[in-house]
Structure 1
Amino acid sequence: MEEEHFPLPQSAMKQDFGKLQYGCEHYRRRCKIRAPCCDQIFTCRHCHNEAMTSLSNPKDRHELVRRDIRQVVCLICNTEQEVAKVCRKCNVNMGEYFCDICKFYDDNTEKKQFHCDACGICRVGGRENFFHCERCGSCYSTPLRDNHTCVENSMKSYCPICWEFLFDSIKDTTVMPCGHTIHLECFSEMESMNQYRCPICLKTVVDMSASWALLKMEIECTPMPEEYSHEVSVHCNDCSHISKVRFHILGHKCSQCNSFNTWRTSSGGRQ
C-alpha cells in the first residue's frame, strides 16, 4: 500500500490527538489493521471476523489470528507501518492502551485493560479485580476465588446457549454453580424462560427451593389413582443418587437431596 501524504494540523503532533474519535462499534482506536490472512484492511479483528465468516463461499470463510498482525494503518495520517503504539509519522498514540503481544489497540482506557500472561490475551476490568484459575484455564473475578467449582478448561469451550467461543468473547461471562461457564446475557435469558438447569450437565443452577416446596405441596394435595400408585426408580441430576419413590405425574423428589431435578431410570426419559 502506498502512503498518502496529508498536511497535518499542528495539534496532530500531540499524542492524544483524535482520542476516542475514531474506531468502530467494537473499539475506539486511531488505526486500522491489515489482516495477513487475506491482505485486507479492517478496523479490528472483530470487524474482520464478522465480514469473513459471513462470506457466501464456505471455503473463503476464516478468522483472524490476532498475534499474526504485522501492519497497521494510522487513521490520522493514513500511514501504513509496522505494529507500534505511536505513529511513526504523525506521532499520535494509535491506542491509549496498546498490547504488543495481542496487537491490540483501544482508546477507551476506562475499561481497565490488562494482559494476562497465563490466558495469553488481554482482559478488561482491572488486573486487581481478577485472578487466573489454572484448572479452568481463564481469569475470573476475585469473588470467585476459592468460591467456584472448577471444570477443566471451562472457558476454553463454547457458550451452551449461543455457541460462541467463550475464551476470547467480548461479552460478559458467568460461572454457574456446577462450574460450567456461560455468557451472562444467555444465562439471564435462560432464567427468563424458566430454564433452571445447566444445558451441559443438567444440574440445578438457580435457587429452586421455593419451587420445590410448592411442587411438594401440589403433589401431596393431588394423590395419584390407585392404578398409577406404583414405585419407580429415579436418578437425581443434582447429586447423582438413585431413589425409589412413588410415581407421580407432577414429578419425583430425590430422597437424598430433596431435589425434583430427576429423571426416571426405568424408562430412560428425562422429565
Structure 2
Amino acid sequence: MAEEENVEYGCEHYKRKCKLVTPCCDKVYTCRFCHDEKEEHTLNRKNVDEIMCSVCETKQPVQQNCSNCGILFGQYFCGKCKLIDDEDKKQYHCEGCGICRVGGRDKFFHCQTCDMCLPKKLENQHRCVEKMSRTNCPICLEDIHTSRIPSHIPSCGHLIHRTCFNSFIHRGHYACPVCQRSMMPMESYWRILDEEIASTPMPVEYQNFFVTILCNDCHQFSEVPMHPLGAKCQNAPCGSYNTCRSGGPVNRPVVREQTPNSE
C-alpha cells in the first residue's frame, strides 16, 4: 500500500484513483475534460454509469470505493454529478445549480433569479439578470455555468470569465461586450479627458458644430460640442464619455446681437 500511495493518480484537472468509462464512445478517460480535449464531441458526466479503478483496473458502477481492492477513489464523492475528487476544494452540491460547486457552502448563496451561486457578500447587493450563468462567456464564447474558471460579475451583471475579463481590460477595453456599460469606475479617466479636451480647442470653423449622443451608462440623450477626443454625457451626475453618436453634426452658429445702424 505504501508503494501505491506514492503513485500519482488522476490528471491535471482532478486527482482521483479511478477513470470514467464514457458511454458516448466506450473509451476510458480520467475526466470529462480529458475526454473533450481528445474527442470531437463532449461528455455529459451525469450519463456515466461505469468507472474503472486506476489501481486494479476493475470496471464497476460509479461509487466512492473500489468493489474489488477497496481503495478510496477520492475524499469527495457526488453520486448526482458522478464527481469524484481527492483534493479538498470545499466542494458542495447545489440543487439550484444542479452541479457541484467549490469554495464552501457557507460562503455562497443561490440566487433564484440569476440561477447560480454567488458570494455571500453580494446577497441583496447585486443586479439580478435572469439566468445569467446559462449563457456563454461573451469574450471566449465558452460555457460559464459548468466552467471551472471563476467568473467576474461587473456592475451590469453580465458574467465574464475572470481570465477573459482581465485580458479584456489589459487590452484597453472598459465597456461590457454585451450591453456596452462601463464595467468599472471610470471617473478618474473622465477627468483626464476633460483636461485634454479643454486644452485642445477645435478649429474655428468647427467650433459651432454639435452632435447628439446616447450615453451607454445612463441611457440618456444629450447634445454636445463635436470633438474628436470624446463626447461627454451632459446629464448630471453622469458625465460619462462612454457614449455613441446618434445624430449630427449640426452647425449651430452663435447668434450675436446686432447694434442699430446710425443714420
TM-score (norm 2): 0.90
Alpha-carbon shift at residue 170 of structure 1 (Å): 0.5
Matches of 1:47 and 1:149 in 2, distance apart?
36
Work out the CA distance in 2 between the residues paired with 1:134 and 1:73. 37
Identity of aligned residues (%): 43
Q: Give the deviation of 1:77 after TM superposition.
A: 1.0
Distance 1:199 1:167 in 2: 18
Q: Deviations over 1:154-183 (max 9, x none)?
A: 111111111110000011111111100011
Which 5+ residue runs of structure 1 have no aligned equivalent? 1-8, 53-60
- Partners in 1 of 2:194 and 2:181 — Cα distance? 19
Give the greater-gyration-radius structure (CA): 2
8 Å CA contact retained: 2:210, 2:248: no
- Helix, strand or coil at the partner of 1:266: strand
**1:98-117: per-residue Cα shift (whole Å, max 9, x none)?**
100000010001x1111000
Runs of 4+ in 1 over 6 A off after TM superposition: none
1:266 maps to which of 247, 250, 255: 247
- CA RMSD between the two structures: 1.7
Q: Shift of residue 19 of structure 1? A: 8.5
Structure 2 counterpart of 1:231: 210
- Structure 2 unpaired stretches of 5+: 250-263
What letter corresponds to residue 191 of structure 2 in structure 1?
A
Q: Say whether the 8 Å CA contact 1:19–1:29 is kept in structure 2.
A: no
2-structure distance, mates of 1:194, 1:66: 38
Q: Which residue of 2 aligns with 1:180?
A: 158
Q: What SS is found at the alignment partner of 1:231?
A: strand
One-letter amino acid of the counterpart of residue 247, structure 1: M
Cα distance, 1:146 vs structure 2: 1.6
Q: Report what 1:63 is aligned to.
A: 42
Larger relative contact order, structure 1 or 2 (CA cutoff 8 Å, min sep 6): 1
Deviations along 1:168-220, whole A, 9 cap, x unmatched? Answer: 00111111111000111111111111111111110001121111001011111
Q: What is the aligned partner in structure 1 of residue 171 from structure 2?
A: 193
Residue 102 of structure 1 contacts residue 122 of structure 1 at CA under 8 Å; is this kept in 2?
A: yes
Task: Say if 1:178 and 1:106 are closer, same or farther in 2 by CA, change over 3 A.
Answer: same
One-letter amino acid of the counterpart of residue 164, structure 1: E
| Pairwise CA distance, 1:226 | 2.6
Q: Is the 8 A contact 2:212 2:248 kept in 1?
A: no
The answer to whether 1:208 aligns with 2:208 is: no
Q: Matched residues in 1 for 2:6 and 2:202: separation?
A: 70
Alignment of 1:127-206 (within 5 A): 127-206=105-184
